[in-house]
Protein backbone atom coordinates (compact mmCIF):
# COMPACT_ATOMS: atom_id res chain seq x y z
CA UNK A 1 0.00 0.00 0.00
CA UNK A 2 1.43 3.30 -1.11
CA UNK A 3 -1.45 5.72 -0.84
CA UNK A 4 -5.23 5.84 -1.16
CA UNK A 5 -7.10 8.72 -2.73
CA UNK A 6 -10.17 9.46 -0.69
CA UNK A 7 -12.37 11.13 -3.25
CA UNK A 8 -14.89 13.34 -1.50
CA UNK A 9 -17.38 14.78 -3.95
CA UNK A 10 -19.16 18.11 -3.96
CA UNK A 11 -22.56 16.77 -4.92
CA UNK A 12 -26.04 17.70 -3.77
CA UNK A 13 -26.75 14.31 -2.28
CA UNK A 14 -23.71 13.41 -0.20
CA UNK A 15 -22.59 16.38 1.83
CA UNK A 16 -23.05 14.38 5.05
CA UNK A 17 -20.99 11.51 3.66
CA UNK A 18 -18.18 13.84 2.64
CA UNK A 19 -18.05 15.26 6.14
CA UNK A 20 -17.96 11.73 7.61
CA UNK A 21 -14.94 11.02 5.40
CA UNK A 22 -13.13 14.03 6.73
CA UNK A 23 -14.03 13.46 10.37
CA UNK A 24 -13.10 9.75 10.19
CA UNK A 25 -9.69 10.71 8.89
CA UNK A 26 -9.46 13.32 11.64
CA UNK A 27 -10.23 10.75 14.34
CA UNK A 28 -7.60 8.40 12.94
CA UNK A 29 -5.06 11.22 13.02
CA UNK A 30 -6.03 12.17 16.57
CA UNK A 31 -5.85 8.59 17.91
CA UNK A 32 -2.65 7.50 16.10
CA UNK A 33 -0.71 10.74 15.77
CA UNK A 34 -0.30 9.98 12.09
CA UNK A 35 -2.38 8.37 9.35
CA UNK A 36 -1.82 4.66 8.58
CA UNK A 37 -1.89 5.35 4.81
CA UNK A 38 -1.19 8.32 2.61
CA UNK A 39 -4.27 10.22 1.53
CA UNK A 40 -5.27 12.65 -1.16
CA UNK A 41 -8.59 14.47 -1.06
CA UNK A 42 -9.98 15.19 -4.50
CA UNK A 43 -13.09 17.36 -4.50
CA UNK A 44 -15.16 18.39 -7.50
CA UNK A 45 -18.56 19.94 -8.00
CA UNK A 46 -19.67 18.75 -11.41
CA UNK A 47 -21.13 15.35 -10.60
CA UNK A 48 -24.71 16.15 -11.51
CA UNK A 49 -23.75 17.60 -14.88
CA UNK A 50 -21.44 14.79 -15.95
CA UNK A 51 -18.04 15.75 -14.41
CA UNK A 52 -16.93 17.23 -17.71
CA UNK A 53 -13.59 18.59 -16.53
CA UNK A 54 -12.48 15.86 -14.13
CA UNK A 55 -10.93 13.65 -16.81
CA UNK A 56 -8.70 16.47 -18.05
CA UNK A 57 -7.73 17.27 -14.46
CA UNK A 58 -6.81 13.64 -13.73
CA UNK A 59 -4.76 13.40 -16.91
CA UNK A 60 -2.94 16.66 -16.15
CA UNK A 61 -2.14 15.57 -12.57
CA UNK A 62 -1.63 11.88 -13.16
CA UNK A 63 1.67 11.75 -11.25
CA UNK A 64 0.49 13.73 -8.25
CA UNK A 65 -2.58 11.47 -8.03
CA UNK A 66 -0.75 8.11 -8.22
CA UNK A 67 -2.50 5.77 -5.81
CA UNK A 68 -3.64 2.20 -5.18
CA UNK A 69 -7.27 2.82 -4.68
CA UNK A 70 -10.15 5.28 -4.74
CA UNK A 71 -12.81 5.49 -2.05
CA UNK A 72 -16.12 7.26 -2.67
CA UNK A 73 -19.11 7.66 -0.43
CA UNK A 74 -21.88 8.38 -2.91
CA UNK A 75 -23.90 5.18 -2.68
CA UNK A 76 -26.39 3.85 -0.19
CA UNK A 77 -27.17 1.17 2.35
CA UNK A 78 -29.76 -1.39 1.38
CA UNK A 79 -31.53 -0.96 4.73
CA UNK A 80 -30.93 0.74 8.08
CA UNK A 81 -28.13 -0.91 10.11
CA UNK A 82 -27.07 -3.03 7.15
CA UNK A 83 -23.42 -2.48 6.18
CA UNK A 84 -23.40 -2.39 2.40
CA UNK A 85 -20.64 -2.91 -0.12
CA UNK A 86 -21.52 -1.71 -3.61
CA UNK A 87 -19.56 -3.42 -6.40
CA UNK A 88 -21.51 -2.24 -9.44
CA UNK A 89 -23.19 0.86 -10.84
CA UNK A 90 -25.30 1.52 -13.84
CA UNK A 91 -24.03 3.85 -16.53
CA UNK A 92 -26.02 6.63 -18.11
CA UNK A 93 -26.69 8.21 -21.48
CA UNK A 94 -28.77 11.39 -21.74
CA UNK A 95 -30.67 12.79 -24.69
CA UNK A 96 -33.01 15.70 -25.31
CA UNK A 97 -35.55 15.39 -28.09
CA UNK A 98 -37.60 18.21 -29.57
CA UNK A 99 -40.42 18.02 -32.07
CA UNK A 100 -41.09 21.18 -34.06
CA UNK A 101 -44.35 21.88 -35.89
CA UNK A 102 -45.94 25.21 -36.82
CA UNK A 103 -43.83 28.35 -36.54
CA UNK A 104 -46.11 29.75 -33.83
CA UNK A 105 -48.63 28.39 -31.35
CA UNK A 106 -51.85 28.00 -33.33
CA UNK A 107 -55.53 28.35 -32.34
CA UNK A 108 -56.53 24.71 -32.02
CA UNK A 109 -60.06 25.43 -33.22
CA UNK A 110 -59.13 27.26 -36.38
CA UNK A 111 -56.20 25.03 -37.36
CA UNK A 112 -56.90 21.80 -35.49
CA UNK A 113 -57.07 19.06 -38.11
CA UNK A 114 -54.98 20.90 -40.70
CA UNK A 115 -51.48 20.35 -39.31
CA UNK A 116 -49.66 17.97 -36.98
CA UNK A 117 -49.56 18.69 -33.25
CA UNK A 118 -45.98 18.47 -31.84
CA UNK A 119 -47.26 17.54 -28.35
CA UNK A 120 -49.17 14.61 -29.82
CA UNK A 121 -46.12 13.68 -31.89
CA UNK A 122 -43.72 13.70 -28.92
CA UNK A 123 -46.14 11.51 -26.96
CA UNK A 124 -46.39 9.04 -29.84
CA UNK A 125 -42.60 8.99 -30.06
CA UNK A 126 -42.16 8.36 -26.33
CA UNK A 127 -44.74 5.58 -26.55
CA UNK A 128 -42.45 3.70 -28.95
CA UNK A 129 -39.65 3.49 -26.37
CA UNK A 130 -41.15 0.61 -24.35
CA UNK A 131 -43.37 -2.37 -24.75
CA UNK A 132 -46.45 -2.63 -22.55
CA UNK A 133 -44.43 -4.28 -19.77
CA UNK A 134 -41.74 -1.61 -19.55
CA UNK A 135 -39.09 -3.43 -21.56
CA UNK A 136 -37.19 -1.01 -23.81
CA UNK A 137 -38.31 -1.45 -27.42
CA UNK A 138 -35.33 0.21 -29.12
CA UNK A 139 -33.81 -2.32 -31.56
CA UNK A 140 -30.47 -3.66 -30.30
CA UNK A 141 -30.86 -2.01 -26.89
CA UNK A 142 -30.19 -5.27 -24.99
CA UNK A 143 -27.55 -6.67 -27.35
CA UNK A 144 -24.58 -6.03 -25.03
CA UNK A 145 -26.33 -6.58 -21.70
CA UNK A 146 -24.42 -8.99 -19.43
CA UNK A 147 -26.60 -11.53 -17.67
CA UNK A 148 -27.05 -11.35 -13.90
CA UNK A 149 -24.92 -14.01 -12.15
CA UNK A 150 -26.68 -16.77 -10.25
CA UNK A 151 -24.92 -15.87 -6.98
CA UNK A 152 -26.10 -12.28 -7.34
CA UNK A 153 -29.75 -13.29 -7.81
CA UNK A 154 -29.50 -15.48 -4.72
CA UNK A 155 -27.73 -12.86 -2.60
CA UNK A 156 -30.13 -10.09 -3.63
CA UNK A 157 -33.19 -12.24 -2.95
CA UNK A 158 -32.04 -12.54 0.70
CA UNK A 159 -31.68 -8.78 1.18
CA UNK A 160 -34.12 -6.96 3.47
CA UNK A 161 -35.42 -4.90 0.57
CA UNK A 162 -38.19 -6.30 -1.60
CA UNK A 163 -41.32 -4.99 -3.32
CA UNK A 164 -42.92 -4.04 -0.01
CA UNK A 165 -39.96 -1.78 0.78
CA UNK A 166 -40.01 -0.35 -2.76
CA UNK A 167 -43.64 0.70 -2.30
CA UNK A 168 -42.97 2.17 1.14
CA UNK A 169 -40.00 4.20 -0.05
CA UNK A 170 -41.45 5.40 -3.36
CA UNK A 171 -45.10 5.77 -2.44
CA UNK A 172 -46.03 3.94 -5.63
CA UNK A 173 -49.06 1.65 -5.48
CA UNK A 174 -47.42 -1.12 -7.50
CA UNK A 175 -43.96 -2.00 -8.74
CA UNK A 176 -43.54 -2.05 -12.51
CA UNK A 177 -40.96 -3.09 -15.02
CA UNK A 178 -39.48 -5.69 -17.30
CA UNK A 179 -40.92 -9.14 -16.75
CA UNK A 180 -38.79 -11.96 -15.31
CA UNK A 181 -36.79 -9.83 -12.89
CA UNK A 182 -37.24 -8.64 -9.31
CA UNK A 183 -37.36 -4.93 -8.55
CA UNK A 184 -33.76 -4.98 -7.32
CA UNK A 185 -32.59 -6.87 -10.39
CA UNK A 186 -34.34 -4.38 -12.66
CA UNK A 187 -32.84 -1.37 -10.89
CA UNK A 188 -29.31 -2.76 -10.47
CA UNK A 189 -28.59 -4.98 -13.42
CA UNK A 190 -31.10 -4.20 -16.17
CA UNK A 191 -31.06 -1.06 -18.34
CA UNK A 192 -33.93 1.44 -18.51
CA UNK A 193 -35.25 4.31 -20.59
CA UNK A 194 -36.76 7.04 -18.43
CA UNK A 195 -38.57 10.26 -19.24
CA UNK A 196 -37.11 12.83 -16.82
CA UNK A 197 -39.18 15.66 -18.24
CA UNK A 198 -41.81 16.18 -20.90
CA UNK A 199 -43.34 19.49 -21.91
CA UNK A 200 -45.11 21.47 -24.57
CA UNK A 201 -47.99 23.93 -24.93
CA UNK A 202 -50.02 25.43 -22.12
CA UNK A 203 -48.69 24.68 -18.63
CA UNK A 204 -50.88 26.90 -16.45
CA UNK A 205 -54.13 26.30 -14.59
CA UNK A 206 -57.24 25.86 -16.73
CA UNK A 207 -57.44 25.69 -20.49
CA UNK A 208 -55.79 27.42 -23.44
CA UNK A 209 -56.78 26.11 -26.83
CA UNK A 210 -53.48 26.03 -28.71
CA UNK A 211 -51.58 23.66 -30.93
CA UNK A 212 -48.10 24.19 -29.47
CA UNK A 213 -45.29 25.05 -31.86
CA UNK A 214 -42.98 22.50 -30.26
CA UNK A 215 -42.69 19.92 -27.53
CA UNK A 216 -39.75 18.25 -25.82
CA UNK A 217 -38.77 15.23 -23.85
CA UNK A 218 -35.67 14.78 -21.68
CA UNK A 219 -34.54 11.16 -21.65
CA UNK A 220 -31.92 9.24 -19.73
CA UNK A 221 -30.96 5.65 -20.28
CA UNK A 222 -29.42 3.72 -17.39
CA UNK A 223 -26.89 1.25 -18.72
CA UNK A 224 -25.47 -2.01 -17.40
CA UNK A 225 -22.32 -3.93 -18.37
CA UNK A 226 -21.44 -4.10 -21.26
CA UNK A 227 -23.55 -1.33 -22.79
CA UNK A 228 -21.75 1.82 -23.95
CA UNK A 229 -23.38 5.29 -23.94
CA UNK A 230 -22.37 6.25 -27.50
CA UNK A 231 -23.69 2.99 -28.91
CA UNK A 232 -26.99 3.28 -27.02
CA UNK A 233 -27.49 6.92 -28.05
CA UNK A 234 -26.88 5.97 -31.68
CA UNK A 235 -29.42 3.14 -31.45
CA UNK A 236 -32.01 5.37 -29.78
CA UNK A 237 -31.44 8.11 -32.35
CA UNK A 238 -31.99 5.67 -35.21
CA UNK A 239 -35.14 4.37 -33.50
CA UNK A 240 -36.55 7.88 -32.98
CA UNK A 241 -35.82 8.92 -36.55
CA UNK A 242 -37.47 5.74 -37.84
CA UNK A 243 -40.53 6.25 -35.62
CA UNK A 244 -41.00 10.02 -35.87
CA UNK A 245 -44.63 10.82 -36.71
CA UNK A 246 -45.18 12.57 -40.06
CA UNK A 247 -45.29 16.31 -40.73
CA UNK A 248 -43.10 17.40 -37.81
CA UNK A 249 -39.37 18.09 -37.56
CA UNK A 250 -37.26 16.09 -35.12
CA UNK A 251 -34.30 17.56 -33.24
CA UNK A 252 -32.11 15.28 -31.14
CA UNK A 253 -29.30 16.40 -28.86
CA UNK A 254 -27.08 13.89 -27.11
CA UNK A 255 -26.36 14.71 -23.47
CA UNK A 256 -23.81 13.43 -20.97
CA UNK A 257 -22.84 9.78 -20.76
CA UNK A 258 -21.08 7.42 -18.39
CA UNK A 259 -20.14 3.76 -18.64
CA UNK A 260 -21.54 1.19 -16.24
CA UNK A 261 -19.11 -0.10 -13.59
CA UNK A 262 -18.45 -3.49 -12.08
CA UNK A 263 -15.58 -4.41 -9.75
CA UNK A 264 -14.67 -7.60 -7.90
CA UNK A 265 -16.03 -7.52 -4.34
CA UNK A 266 -13.62 -10.32 -3.38
CA UNK A 267 -10.38 -8.49 -4.22
CA UNK A 268 -7.92 -7.70 -1.40
CA UNK A 269 -9.16 -4.11 -1.21
CA UNK A 270 -12.74 -5.30 -1.36
CA UNK A 271 -12.19 -7.62 1.59
CA UNK A 272 -10.46 -4.86 3.60
CA UNK A 273 -13.44 -2.59 2.98
CA UNK A 274 -15.85 -5.33 4.03
CA UNK A 275 -13.91 -5.80 7.30
CA UNK A 276 -14.15 -2.06 7.98
CA UNK A 277 -17.88 -2.13 7.24
CA UNK A 278 -18.42 -5.11 9.51
CA UNK A 279 -16.51 -3.39 12.34
CA UNK A 280 -18.60 -0.23 11.94
CA UNK A 281 -21.89 -2.11 12.30
CA UNK A 282 -21.04 -4.89 14.81
CA UNK A 283 -23.18 -8.00 14.57
CA UNK A 284 -24.97 -6.97 11.36
CA UNK A 285 -24.88 -9.07 8.18
CA UNK A 286 -23.08 -7.41 5.30
CA UNK A 287 -24.87 -6.81 1.98
CA UNK A 288 -23.10 -7.13 -1.38
CA UNK A 289 -25.06 -5.08 -3.88
CA UNK A 290 -24.99 -3.12 -7.05
CA UNK A 291 -26.72 0.21 -7.36
CA UNK A 292 -28.96 1.68 -10.02
CA UNK A 293 -27.46 5.15 -10.04
CA UNK A 294 -24.50 6.28 -12.07
CA UNK A 295 -21.09 7.54 -10.90
CA UNK A 296 -19.40 7.93 -14.27
CA UNK A 297 -16.07 9.03 -12.82
CA UNK A 298 -15.28 5.57 -11.40
CA UNK A 299 -14.57 4.58 -15.00
CA UNK A 300 -12.54 7.73 -15.51
CA UNK A 301 -10.40 6.76 -12.49
CA UNK A 302 -9.97 3.24 -13.83
CA UNK A 303 -9.02 4.50 -17.28
CA UNK A 304 -6.67 7.36 -16.34
CA UNK A 305 -5.27 6.34 -12.95
CA UNK A 306 -5.57 2.59 -13.51
CA UNK A 307 -7.18 1.86 -10.14
CA UNK A 308 -10.43 0.43 -8.79
CA UNK A 309 -12.91 2.30 -6.62
CA UNK A 310 -14.45 1.32 -3.29
CA UNK A 311 -18.05 2.49 -3.04
CA UNK A 312 -18.84 2.78 0.65
CA UNK A 313 -21.98 4.83 0.96
CA UNK A 314 -24.35 5.25 3.86
CA UNK A 315 -27.47 6.85 2.38
CA UNK A 316 -30.73 5.10 3.29
CA UNK A 317 -33.47 4.11 0.83
CA UNK A 318 -35.69 6.94 2.07
CA UNK A 319 -32.99 9.62 1.79
CA UNK A 320 -35.02 11.26 -1.02
CA UNK A 321 -31.96 11.91 -3.16
CA UNK A 322 -32.64 14.60 -5.79
CA UNK A 323 -36.05 15.32 -4.27
CA UNK A 324 -37.53 17.67 -1.68
CA UNK A 325 -36.71 16.80 1.96
CA UNK A 326 -33.47 15.00 1.09
CA UNK A 327 -31.98 13.67 4.31
CA UNK A 328 -29.04 11.83 5.91
CA UNK A 329 -29.55 10.44 9.44
CA UNK A 330 -27.22 11.40 12.26
CA UNK A 331 -26.60 7.73 13.20
CA UNK A 332 -25.34 7.03 9.68
CA UNK A 333 -23.20 10.13 9.85
CA UNK A 334 -21.61 8.73 13.03
CA UNK A 335 -21.25 5.26 11.47
CA UNK A 336 -19.55 6.93 8.51
CA UNK A 337 -16.95 8.49 10.81
CA UNK A 338 -16.23 5.03 12.36
CA UNK A 339 -16.15 3.40 8.93
CA UNK A 340 -13.66 5.84 7.43
CA UNK A 341 -11.38 5.66 10.46
CA UNK A 342 -11.40 1.84 10.41
CA UNK A 343 -11.01 1.66 6.64
CA UNK A 344 -7.65 3.41 6.77
CA UNK A 345 -6.41 0.89 9.34
CA UNK A 346 -7.72 -2.12 7.42
CA UNK A 347 -6.18 -0.87 4.18
CA UNK A 348 -2.84 -0.29 5.93
CA UNK A 349 -2.85 -3.79 7.33
CA UNK A 350 -3.71 -5.36 4.03
Site for its own copies in 172-191 (CB under 8 A): 172-178, 183-184, 186-187, 190
Q: How far is the CB of 291 from its own copies (least distance, A)?
A: 7
Would you count residue 327 as binding its own copies (CB under 8 A)? Answer: no
Give me the least distance between CB of 122 and its own copies, in Å please. Answer: 7
Give the rounded distance of the alpha carbon of 198 from its chain centre. Answer: 20
Confirm or reject binding of residue 119 to its own copies (CB under 8 A).
yes
Task: Specify the residue, 202 or 279, whose C-beta has the smaller distance to its own copies.
Answer: 202
Does residue 196 touch its own copies according to CB under 8 A?
Answer: yes
For 66, half-sphere exposure in the C-beta direction (CA atoms, 13 angstrom radius) is: 4
Candidate list 4, 16, 83, 200; residue touching its own copies; CB under 8 A = 200
Q: Of residues 60, 306, 322, 349, which one binds its own copies by CB under 8 A?
A: 322
Q: Which of 203, 282, 283, 330 binds its own copies (CB under 8 A)?
A: 203
Interface pick for its own copies out of 63, 151, 179, 206 (rule CB under 8 A): 206
Instruction: Give the residue with the Cβ less far from its own copies, 188 or 269.
Output: 188
Enclosing H/E stretch for 124:
helix 118-126
The DSSP bridge pattern shows strands 210-211 and 106-107 to be antiparallel
Listed residue (56, 66, 18) closest to 340, CA to CA: 18
Binding flag, residue 283, its own copies (CB under 8 A)? no
Calpha distance 242→225 (Å, rounded): 26
Q: Report yes or no: 34 and 344 within 8 Å, Cβ to Cβ.
A: no
**Which 13-52 positions form the footprint of its own copies (CB under 8 A)?**
13, 48-49
> Helix (H, G, I), strand (E, B), or coil: what is residue 4?
strand
Beta carbons within 8 Å of 74's beta carbon, 6+ residues apart: 9, 11, 13, 14, 17, 47, 295, 311, 313
Residues 111 and 314: beta-carbon distance below 8 Å: no
Q: Which is nearer to its own copies, 22 or 145 (CB)?
A: 145
Residue choice 38, 81, 120, 226 for contact with its own copies (CB under 8 A): 120
Q: Looking at beta carbons only, is 126 or 286 nearer to its own copies?
A: 126
Query: Cβ distance 73 to 211 under 8 Å?
Result: no
Residues 47-86 that bind its own copies (CB under 8 A): 48-49, 76
- Confirm if 301 and 55 have CB atoms less than 8 A apart: no
Q: Which of residues 220-239 bind its own copies (CB under 8 A)?
A: 220, 222
When computed from its CA atoms, the radius of gyration of the chain, rounded to whole angstroms, is 23
- Taking CB under 8 A as the rule, does residue 113 contact its own copies? yes
Among 71, 122, 250, 347, binds its own copies (CB under 8 A): 122
Amino acid sequence: MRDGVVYARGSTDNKGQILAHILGVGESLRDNGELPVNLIFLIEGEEEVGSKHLGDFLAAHRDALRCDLIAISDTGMIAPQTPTFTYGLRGIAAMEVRVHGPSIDLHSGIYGGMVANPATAIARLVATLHDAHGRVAVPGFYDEVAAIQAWEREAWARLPFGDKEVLTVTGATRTFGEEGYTSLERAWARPTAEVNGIGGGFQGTGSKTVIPREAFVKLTFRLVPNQRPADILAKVRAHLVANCPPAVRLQIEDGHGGDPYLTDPHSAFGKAAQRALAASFPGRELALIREGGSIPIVNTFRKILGVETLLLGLALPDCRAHAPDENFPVENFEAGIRLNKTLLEELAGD
